[in-house]
Amino acid sequence: MRAIVYSKYGPPEVAKLMAVPKPLPKDNEVLVKVYSSTVNRTDSGFRSAEYFISRFWTGLLRPKYQILGCEFAGIIEEIGQHVTTFKKGDKVFGFNDKTCGGHGEYLTIAETDAVINMPDNLSYDEAAPLTEGAHYALVDIRAAKVEPGQNVLVYGATGAIGSAAVQLLKHFGAIVTAVCNTKNVGLVKSLGADTVIDYQTQDFTKTEDKFDFIFDAVGKSSFGQCKPLLTKKGIYISTELGKMERIYFLH
Ligand SMILES: NC(=O)c1ccc[n+]([C@@H]2O[C@H](COP(=O)([O-])OP(=O)(O)OC[C@H]3O[C@@H](n4cnc5c(N)ncnc54)[C@H](OP(=O)(O)O)[C@@H]3O)[C@@H](O)[C@H]2O)c1
């Protein structure tokens, strides 16, 4: 099969189109023919190893898994002999930031990993980009242990992570204040935000409200700037790791 392969860390040019063996599904895996994938922040972060810490997962000296593409949508072409939840021909989409593979014509994934049937009303191109932002939003919402009725501020509510965070927080019963630019106020309201602050006309740090959780989904704020807005036990999380990956160690 054809795939975009990166055998060393570096700029986008290290990724090359080449012919590689088609993967074979293990007994608990499905073989997906990939119809759509994305190049997202996770893929480019793994490729560049811009944050050294990512090498602990992707390989210290060189990439262990050399085909990127953590988001995918496609059709199941084969199933391992112990697979029970999927059948050949199922349209599926999913997220795999361990072995990736979406930048190849085929990938394998365990049926118990993050892969699921596609809703009928979505195309492959619509389904593939849904998962990465939602993955990070959910991880951070779980880390903050958000409870129903808590006051949460999402800074950068229009990005992949932020827009998923607004919807997930509403699903978990939080009261959501979302910060975005003027052109996206309507969009963010349609995602369910209770209050919207337009950062082009209003400084969100001047709000009188206090928050149990401030989630900076675009890494444009600082803990110092947001601390006065937090309740006594309030939690601040930013998706940008910062200098020396310090946000990771603050988690
Ligand atoms: N920690 C990790 O492992 C990890 C993984 C993936 C991503 N990330 C980081 O998470 C961040 C978001 O990723 P993403 O994929 O969600 O990005 P994205 O989809 O590209 O969204 C970026 C959003 O940022 C908003 N924005 C830009 N400048 C802003 C500002 N000054 N104030 C408020 N909003 C602003 C833009 O919205 P407007 O047009 O409305 O301004 C845009 O919607 C990135 O910084 C990325 O590096 C971290």
The tokens for 15 are 């990724």
Indicate which CATH number applies to the domain containing 175: 3.40.50.720
CB 170 within 8 A of CB 204: no
Contact 113, 80 (CB under 8 A): no
250, pLDDT greater than 70: no
User: Which atom of ligand 1 is least distant from the CA of 247?
Assistant: 1
Domain check: are 67 and 123 in the same one?
A: yes
Q: Whose CA is nearest to atom 37 of ligand 1?
A: 158
pLDDT (tens digit per residue) in 189-223: 999 999 999 999 999 999 999 999 999 999 999 99
Residues 49, 124, single domain; the answer is yes
Ligand 1 centre from 89 Cα, in Å? 35
Which CATH number is 42's domain given? Answer: 3.90.180.10
Instruction: Among 85, 100, 131, identify where a domain stops.
Output: 131
- The structural domain count of the chain equals 2
Domain co-membership, 68 together with 189: no
Output the pLDDT for position 251: 46
Q: Is residue 139 included in any domain, yes or no?
A: no
**Whether residue 166 sits in one domain with residue 116:** no
Same domain, 53 and 163: no
Of residues 242 and 50, which shows the higher confidence score? 50
Q: How far is the CA of 216 from the centre of ligand 1 (A)?
A: 9
- Based on the fold, state whether residues 157 and 207 are members of the same structural domain: yes
Ligand 1 centroid vs 156 CA: distance in angstroms?
A: 6
Cβ–ligand 1 contact at 136 (below 6 Å): yes
CA of residue 188 to ligand 1 center, whole Å: 15
Single out the residue in 131, 161, 189 at which a domain terminates. 131
The residues with which 73 forms a beta bridge, in sequence order, are 36, 93
pLDDT, tens digit (0-9, with 9 covering 90-100), for 91-125:
999 999 999 999 999 999 999 999 999 999 999 99
- Express each pLDDT in 158-173 by its tens digit: 999 999 999 999 999 9
Distance 160 CA to ligand 1 centre (A): 7
Quote the tokens at residue 49.
């190893």
Say whether both 112 and 156 belong to one domain: no
Residue of the CA atom closest to atom 7 of ligand 1: 41
Question: Ligand 1 in contact with 133 (CB < 6 A)?
Answer: yes
Is 60 exceeded by the pLDDT of residue 58? yes
Q: Which residues contact 207 (CB under 8 A, 6 or more apart)?
A: 177, 197, 229
136 in a domain, yes or no?
Answer: no
Does residue 131's CB lie within 6 angstroms of at least one atom of ligand 1? no
Residues 119 and 149 in one domain: no
Clarify whether residues 59 and 121 are in a common domain: yes
Domain range for 211: 144-250
